[in-house]
Chain A
Amino acid sequence: MKRHLLSAADLSRDDAELVLTTADEMRSLADRPIKKLPALRGRTVVNLFFEDSTRTRISFEAAAKRLSADVINFSAKGSSLSKGESLKDTALTLEAMGADAVVVRHGSSGAPHLLAHSGWVRSSVVNAGDGTHEHPTQALLDAFTMWKHLGESKPGGLEGRKVAIVGDVLHSRVARSNALLLQTLGAEVTLVAPPTLLPVGIEGWPVETSYDLDSVLPKADAVMMLRVQRERMHGGFFPTAREYSRRYGLDGKRMAMLQDHTIVMHPGPMVRGMEITADVADSDRSVIVEQVTNGVAVRMAVLYLLLGGSEPAVGGEE
């Protein structure tokens, strides 16, 4: 693996499958009485969050702590970041404190890239979501969840599987990272959205696109619904929330079109009644809660592999 995880495109197929198999080992920890490994004892992981994101931060925090790392949480509100300190000065401060890994969430696309390449810090940088660019650990946990359900937890398990990603692709870092990673893993991705919410130039992406959800659903092995942010509703991207739901929302009627094995996913937080109805979100097909559980295991695997864990993480008894 590379030293940083900035984009899902940083991962080769071997890298990605190594993360998945390592995460599988990490997940088995959850069944043990003591859910903690000494792998990163003495290492420091900084969670640098310039945007509010409780769930992602908690997931990274839990992952680092289960690996026995020291965790420092640094968030924008109430810190020097809200007083106009630059990304550079924040980075230099963290470097001076001796961070081994910086997990960064930032509203500007490319901020983690800048952090990794500016020379400001020596630590590994993990992108925990940057602007409308990428969110690679979300893609890894999504792939892991699909791999458990559809891929028999084996290398190559997602080969040829059909994944529909539905909603605000234009502004979604989850969609970008998922499209890249799933393509690396051999899955076939179809992005479904109204034309206003697909980026210009999407013909050049390694994906299919569709404006028609109903034609895509019967063939899909996994359906991932993206959140539609409230501010988009006022941006003129679609006429009304109701029209959006009618054309692109996943409700019980549409769920009935799915194959028996097809799973329904959502990266959260959901807008129930907008892109997904409550009966779908709470149905047996829904793996949304499991995605959260898997998020911790996948982030453990990423931190462990980035911070130089060469021996198997799990196995040798204490």
Chain B
Amino acid sequence: MSTSYLIKNVAVLGGTPSDLLLQDGVIRDAADAPADAEVIDATGLIALPGLVDLHTHLREPGREDAETVDTGTQAAALGGFTAVFAMANTEPVADTAGVVEQVWRLGREAGHCDVYPIGAVTVGLQGERLAELGAMADSAARVRVFSDDGKCVSDAVLMRRALEYVKAFDGVIAQHAQEPRLTEGAQMNEGELSGRLGLAGWPAVAEEAIIARDVLLAEHVGSRLHVCHVSTAGSVDIVRWAKSKGVDVTAEACPHHLLLTDQLAATYDPIYKVNPPLRSQTDVEALRAGLADGTIDIVATDHAPHPHEDKDCEWAAAAFGMIGLETALSIVQQTMVDAGLLDWAGVAERMSYAPARIGRVAEHGRPIEVGEPANVVLYDPAATRTVDPSESASLSRNTPYRGMELPGRVVATFLRGKATVLDGKLA
């Protein structure tokens, strides 16, 4: 008999405090709480549906020195996530049913949150021919999201075929929008600062040109498109236009793009090196506005762990990416909720309901109501904390928020009624 939890006085989506009973994996009427239920006093806490991250790099198989499914999902649980989608750029690449099933099983064994593997669009992420998308869709991992993330499906014909092909099993292509020729050797946002620092520029147009092409392709073939890590004001405008035309496109923004700007590159500290790069303050504000008005559907972390030596070197030699599972909700609170741009119901939509819908996962992203799966996170928005990389559950330490004071704290996370995090620690 598993433990039941009676959560007292919790503000669901920041609303009027009430009680919640989590029993046998589902949410039940608190009035029916058994006498032996474990009582959690949640006064001052809010309840959100378990968060869903559509964009996580778990690095296993292949780079277990950077992250494993076990450690990455621990970080996810501590960040309030009950489901993560694991990107395909592992070694070997997740481009066959065998690899996606392996990742899926590792997630089940770890048990900290549900792991949904993303399949590669093309064999070996090489952008030359389609991987066996149908085999991955039909596998035990039930893949619905396909992405060559880290690389762009830049060939227009291949992208068209991929968009068409996945319609057979209601899949979606999640595009890493980066025109490769415009970004050869690119190191940071192209602008006045890149010129001064002598770092090769990654122009906004290299992202926007691909998004513009892809929304037109998606419209033409009547397919579903998801745009990964939108980073520029122009991209927000294109997605907004495409949605106004009825194109079936969704888009994500990453927490770091909602908070940080390219000015940090002036430190030459590659902790701030990420792809797509940190952009200007104008871009940051456009992303926040787009996330607020729904042009950008979701927040996804692009949690990208790297071992210390891959960041402890000169900028051009360093790896792209930053970790972000444990800080995502705090950054959304700071940049969106505390800024008055989004309420907690909006956060639930952007970080739970919508990513689950896009990923076609029925058991996550459900409202906190009687009869629904007991995937719940308890969060203290009044808390503050100073980010200490050494406290991360991730194997990697490449957080750009070191030493920053961030609002909020995940107090508890429940996956199907089982606590994965209690009192801010792994249960």
* Interface locus among A56-64, A106-114, A270-278, A298-306: A106-114
User: Counting CB contacts under 8 A, is A176 at the interface?
Assistant: yes
User: Counting CB contacts under 8 A, is B17 at the interface?
Assistant: no
Chain B interface extent, by class:
20 to 34
**Nearest 8 A/B pairs, CB to CB:** A201-B192, A199-B195, A133-B198, A110-B268, A109-B198, A132-B198, A204-B192, A108-B314
Scoring A residues 177 to 208 as 1 if CB is less than 8 Å from chain B, else 0, what string do you get?
00000000000000000000001111111000
B317 contacts which chain A residues (CB < 8 A)?
A: 87, 108
Closest to A173 in B: B198
Count how many pairs of residues, one from A and one from B, have CB atoms less than 8 Å apart in the complex.
Answer: 76
User: Counting CB contacts under 8 A, is B110 at the interface?
Assistant: no
28 contacts across the A-B interface (CB closer than 8 A): A87-B313, A87-B317, A88-B312, A88-B313, A106-B314, A107-B316, A108-B314, A108-B315, A108-B317, A109-B197, A109-B315, A110-B198, A110-B199, A110-B316, A114-B313, A132-B198, A132-B199, A170-B195, A176-B196, A199-B194, A199-B195, A200-B195, A200-B203, A201-B191, A201-B192, A201-B195, A202-B195, A204-B192
Q: Which parts of A184-236 form the interface with B (CB within 8 Å)?
A: 199-205
User: Counting CB contacts under 8 A, is B309 at the interface?
Assistant: yes
Nearest chain A CB to B314 CB, angstrom units: 4
User: Counting CB contacts under 8 A, is A134 at the interface?
Assistant: yes
Closest to B190 in A: A200
Chain A interface extent, by class:
20 to 34
User: Counting CB contacts under 8 A, is B289 at the interface?
Assistant: no
Nearest chain B CB to A133 CB, angstrom units: 3
The answer to whether A110 and B190 touch (CB under 8 A), given A133-B198, A202-B195, is no
Is the pair A131, B312 in contact by a Cβ cutoff of 8 Å?
A: no
Closest to B312 in A: A88
Nearest chain B CB to A203 CB, angstrom units: 8
A204 contacts which chain B residues (CB < 8 A)?
A: 192
Scoring B residues 161 to 190 as 1 if CB is less than 8 Å from chain A, else 0, what string do you get?
000000000000000000000000001001
User: Counting CB contacts under 8 A, is B201 at the interface?
Assistant: yes
A88 contacts which chain B residues (CB < 8 A)?
A: 312-313
User: Counting CB contacts under 8 A, is B238 at the interface?
Assistant: no
* Bound-state Cα–Cα, A133 to B203, Å: 18
Scoring B residues 286 to 301 as 1 if CB is less than 8 Å from chain A, else 0, what string do you get?
0000000000000000
* Bound-state Cα–Cα, A114 to B268, Å: 7
Scoring B residues 194 to 227 as 1 if CB is less than 8 Å from chain A, else 0, what string do you get?
1111111101000000000000000000000000
User: Counting CB contacts under 8 A, is A86 at the interface?
Assistant: yes
Scoring A residues 125 to 147 as 1 if CB is less than 8 Å from chain B, else 0, what string do you get?
00000111110000000000000
The answer to whether A133 and B197 touch (CB under 8 A), given A114-B268, A200-B191, A204-B192, is yes
User: Counting CB contacts under 8 A, is B130 at the interface?
Assistant: no
B191 contacts which chain A residues (CB < 8 A)?
A: 200-201
* A interface list, Cβ under 8 A from B: 86-88, 106-111, 113-114, 117, 130-134, 170, 173, 176, 199-205
B314 contacts which chain A residues (CB < 8 A)?
A: 87, 106, 108, 110-111, 114
* Bound-state Cα–Cα, A205 to B269, Å: 23
User: Counting CB contacts under 8 A, is B361 at the interface?
Assistant: no
B200 contacts which chain A residues (CB < 8 A)?
A: 132
User: Counting CB contacts under 8 A, is B426 at the interface?
Assistant: no
The answer to whether A86 and B201 touch (CB under 8 A), given A200-B195, A201-B192, A201-B194, is no
Pick from B191, B195, B316 the residue with the most CB of A within 10 Å. Answer: B195
A131 contacts which chain B residues (CB < 8 A)?
A: 198-199, 316
Tell which of A111, A134, A173, A200 touches B201, judged by Cβ atoms closer than 8 Å.
Answer: A200
A117 contacts which chain B residues (CB < 8 A)?
A: 267-268
* Bound-state Cα–Cα, A134 to B198, Å: 8
B30 contacts which chain A residues (CB < 8 A)?
A: none
New A-B pairs, 12, CB < 8 Å, besides A132-B200, A133-B197, A200-B201: A88-B313, A109-B268, A109-B316, A110-B268, A117-B268, A130-B198, A131-B199, A173-B198, A200-B195, A200-B203, A205-B192, A205-B195
